[in-house]
Structure 1
């Protein structure tokens, strides 16, 4: 695992995470009680700062965030941790991420289901030759291809997290869960948010491309 960077103060982290969730909510990427968001508060022992489960993530104040340990148990704050905390922990442990952001956007949900694998399987969404790919860390040219893993959804998050682990290092800072949505991460909250925005742009562009191709195909058939 990559070495974790020293984290800012708890208050600074909480303010930044609360603001990021509010901005993501305004984009329509975590409506209702959808989505879950975390950042690493301490590397050793591993402690995540998170929004509690079952609440509107667009209105969570900094003081309402909870702290969760490496077992997924709440160690500070009021509220319960999402079952999906286990996947956040897996991403942090395998990639060394400092923040993990999970959204339920229309594009992410639609494409993850459209290209999703059969139960328990794995598939990929291939993205290539797009300038916005350069927003992902480690990519310096549009002339490249990335394959975003898509895992079949599973209400058993221990099993889902175990199935995700072998694919996280090679993933382009993002992972899709079929019929569910996107997980994006980065070395810190700022990078994770950039990766989330890049992935959401690419997902939106991809489904619009599918619509455009279908429209052009129908017009060609009518000629």
Structure 2
């Protein structure tokens, strides 16, 4: 079992990698790692800081009510969504990004409530998907500022979600049973969303098998 220092260093390394990819600009994004399942205890990035500069001592600990119980940083306004995901799915880590492609597509597909993606080999990077010859639907939820209400609306859909969802005009949430798996799912979805955007820009179907 990794100790607290190892967990902190691992989460910081993932946050720095995500920031380097341009997926957490302008202090955006929030990232959490479960230290204890019941009652929930999350190790989390603080709000309002440059994610490329976060160090292990900057991370905060969050309890089941979303309160900071260790550390001096401020909890993200979206902490409730991290807790909802962990409680509904048993996730061990949750990663939230604000990339250009996920944000644009979250608005474009908001009315449809989902993005259906089929035929790409990268789909097999999602746990439970064993072939490219399938369609996976990424949910898109409308965003609003009442996080408690938003979490209650989204929670019933989380167990069947493909390890991720979009908030319209906001960004992508991805999770996994471990930090490594959450990072893999995030990278898979970011790749597939960029592919979808570029396919639309080329006036071809994002559902194409070619």
Which bracket does the TM-score occupy, shorter chain normalised?
Answer: over 0.9
Q: Secondary structure at the match of 1:8?
A: coil
Structure of greater Rg: 1
Q: TM-score, normalised by structure 2?
A: 0.95
Aligned equivalent of 2:47, options 49, 53, 61: 53
Q: Secondary structure at the match of 2:12?
A: helix
Distance across 2 between alignment mates of 1:205 and 1:45: 39
Q: Secondary structure at the match of 2:35?
A: strand
Q: Secondary structure at the match of 1:101?
A: strand
Report deviation, 1:66. Answer: 0.2
Per the alignment, residue 4 of structure 1 pairs with none
Distance across 1 between alignment mates of 2:89 and 2:10: 22
Distance across 2 between alignment mates of 1:158 and 1:127: 30
Question: Is 1:112 matched with 2:106?
Answer: yes
Q: CA RMSD in A?
A: 1.0
How many positions carry a matched residue from both structures? 204
Report deviation, 1:75. Answer: 0.1
Q: TM-score, normalised by structure 1?
A: 0.90
Q: Secondary structure at the match of 1:163?
A: helix
Aligned equivalent of 1:142, options 132, 140, 152: 132
Per the alignment, residue 127 of structure 1 pairs with 117
1:1-12 matches, cutoff 5 A = 8-12=2-6
Distance across 2 between alignment mates of 1:50 and 1:131: 32
Aligned equivalent of 1:81, options 75, 80, 100: 75
Report deviation, 1:31. Answer: 0.6
Q: Secondary structure at the match of 1:57?
A: coil
Return 5+ residue gaps in structure 2 as ranges: 205-210
Question: Is 1:172 matched with 2:166?
Answer: no
